Amino acid sequence: PCWRLLHPGQTEKCPSCPLTNLFSDGPETPKRLSWELQMPETGKWYQVKNSIIDWIQEGKAHLGTLSDITYRKQYEAQLQRLASTDAMTDVYNRKWGSEKLRKRFQADAAARARQTLCFADLDGLKRINDLLGHAAGDEMILNVIRVASSCIRKDDFIVRWGGDEFVIFLN
């Protein structure tokens, strides 16, 4: 049984086993099921596919496949991170930050009353870039982000709005 393979040490089928639906004969009965599963013991991800097939003179049989998709899930997480964060500062970029802010401000009135939005513009960045070079300007930005990140809580976040402009959301 699949539960022995997926959950070593388990002695019976999973309480939420979707395979029971595969064997019922109703008009809404699915003939194939597919889902993704992460193993808590190893952290690995699997795509599980199950179907019912007609077996030679034996009636119906359960066919299940299990594919390791850990690398795909890691790649998806990396793509998500690259799409949502500013490459230099590793804080949210403007596009993703705007969406996250929009969702936060759609909260109920009581939650909104406890939220603070700060706009920060780093004065003098152009002068530092002109006098000391862009590497020095980048270092200044990174130092400011490092300090700001150490001062905010887990539910708070920073968005790089533009070159030297940042939005800090305090929940």
Q: Catalytic site residues?
A: 164
Single-letter residue type at 14: C
C-alpha 44/C-alpha 68 separation (Å) is 7
DSSP string computed for 26-66: STT--SEEEEEEE-TTT--EEEEEEEEEEETTTEEEEEEEE
Single-letter residue type at 99: E
Contacts of 36 (CB under 8 A, 6+ apart): 45, 46, 47, 48, 69, 73
